[in-house]
Amino acid sequence: MNKVHLYDKILAPIVTEKSTNLSEQNKIIFKVPSKANKKNLKSNIEKIFKVNVTKINIINKKTRTKVTRGKKVKVRGFKKAIITLKKGQNIDLTTGI
């Protein structure tokens, strides 16, 4: 499989305070396309980063409206994947891919 196709299933890492705390438990959070599934994600992440994935949880964030400065604004939904790695392995997101 071509490297370009491997990166199609990973849009961006999600770096927040909560995701940083989860990294202590060998968990990494990525934003993924809406058509991504666990089987493809597992194989792609193992090939790209050369790590062993033990578990994948996928969460759908739905589109919602919120009020900012008195106006209703749509916040687009997205899909995120929480990837659990084998104990002792990690992915360093600061170096880039």
* Domains of the chain with bracketed CATH: 3-85 (3.30.70.330)
Q: 53-84 burial by CB neighbour count: b if 16+ within 10 A, else e?
A: beebeeeeeeeeeeeeeeeeeeeeebbbbbbe
Reported as a pLDDT band with limits 50, 70 and 90, residue 80 is: very high
Average pLDDT over residues 57-63: 95
Higher pLDDT, residue 95 or 32: 32
Reported as a pLDDT band with limits 50, 70 and 90, residue 5 is: confident
Residue 91: per-residue pLDDT = 85
Average pLDDT over residues 1-6: 64
Which residues contact residue 18 at a Cβ distance below 8 angstroms, ignoring those fewer than 6 apart? none
Reported as a pLDDT band with limits 50, 70 and 90, residue 2 is: low
Decide: pTM greater than 0.85.
Answer: no
Check pLDDT > 70 for residue 72. Answer: yes
Reported as a pLDDT band with limits 50, 70 and 90, residue 69 is: very high
